[in-house]
Amino acid sequence: NAGVTQTPKFQVLKTGQSMTLQCAQDMNHNSMYWYRQDPGMGLRLIYYSASEGTTDKGEVPNGYNVSRLNKREFSLRLESAAPSQTSVYFCANRETYNSPLHFGNGTRLTVT
Amino acid sequence: RKEVEQDPGPFNVPEGATVAFNCTYSNSASQSFFWYRQDCRKEPKLLMSVYSSGNEDGRFTAQLNRASQYISLLIRDSKLSDSATYLCVVNMGTGSARQLTFGSGTQLTVLP
C-alpha cells in the first residue's frame, strides 16, 4: 500500500523548459493537492482538486497548471520553468474536508 | 498578520526534558487542527489531530484554546528521535474550499 506516490524524486531544469510532476494515490480519496515548500515560507498551496474532473487555484498558482483526469492521478505542469520555481513540491490527499493530509515523498526541483 | 503563526525556534533541549510549542491562528471559524512532524528533507507526517477537549498520545499532548485562538503541543521525556520540525496546521474555509494552512514550523533539537 503505497499511499501517495510522486515522480520524479529529483529534477533539474533549465529556465524555459517544461515538465510535468506526477502524483498517484491508491487511497481512493476524492481530494488531492499540490504544495510547494521553500525555506522560511512553510508549505503553500498551488492547486487542489476536490474531486475527479475539478481543479481550483490555491495561494500560489501562477506559472503552473494541473490536470485531474481520474480519481487516482493529479499532475502538476510547469510550462516554462523559472528559477523562482526552484522548490520542493509535495502532492497530498485527504479523505474529507476535516481530515488531515497524507503526503507523497516530494519532488526536489532545481531550475537553473 | 500571518494566518497561522509559530515560534520558529530553534528549541534545543536535553534528553528527558519537557518542551512545549504554541501556535496561534487568525480565523476564529477554523474547524480542525493538526500537528505534523517533518524530518529534514522529508515529507510532513501527521503527528496528531487536536480535539476541543485536548488529547494525548503517549508522550505527546495537544490542546486547543478557541477563545484565545491557539493550539499547543507538549512533548514529555524528550527523545533524540523527537528532533524534527513541528508544523501547526489549521483547517480554514468552508466546504470543498476548506484548506489546510500551515505554520512555518518550529525546529526542535534534542541533545544527548
Give contacts of A31 with chain B, Cβ < 8 Å: 96
Contacts of the segment B92-97: beta carbons below 8 A, 24+ positions apart = B92/B3, B92/B25, B92/B27, B92/B29, B92/B30, B92/B31, B95/A97, B96/A31, B96/A50, B96/A51, B96/A56, B96/A97, B97/A50, B97/A56
What pLDDT score was predicted for residue B1?
64
Average pLDDT for chain B: 91
* pLDDT, mean of residues B22-42: 90
Cross-chain residue pair B98–A101, CB shorter than 8 Å: no
Q: Is the pLDDT of residue A111 over 60?
A: yes
Q: Which cell numbers hold the place of B20?
A: 512545549
Paired sense of beta strands B19-25 and B4-6, if any: antiparallel
What pLDDT score was predicted for residue B52?
85
Cross-chain residue pair A106–B87, CB shorter than 8 Å: no
Contact partners, residue A22, CB within 8 Å, separation at least 6: A6, A7, A73, A75
Contact A86, A111 (CB under 8 A): yes
Cα separation of A53 and B36, whole Å? 29
Looking at the complex, does the CB of residue B40 fall below 8 Å from at least one CB of chain A? no
Give contacts of B42 with chain A, Cβ < 8 Å: 105-106
Nearest to B62 by CA among B87, B30, B28: B87
Percent of chain B with pLDDT over 90: 71
What pLDDT score was predicted for residue B94?
65
Looking at the complex, does the CB of residue B52 fall below 8 Å from at least one CB of chain A? no
Average pLDDT for chain A: 94
Tens of pLDDT, residue by residue over B64-73, are: 999 999 999 9
Tens of pLDDT, residue by residue over A5-24, are: 999 999 999 999 999 999 99
Cross-chain residue pair B46–A31, CB shorter than 8 Å: no
Tens of pLDDT, residue by residue over A40-81, are: 778 999 999 999 989 999 989 999 999 998 999 999 999 999
What pLDDT score was predicted for residue A96?
86
The residue type found at A107 is: T
Cross-chain residue pair A105–B42, CB shorter than 8 Å: yes
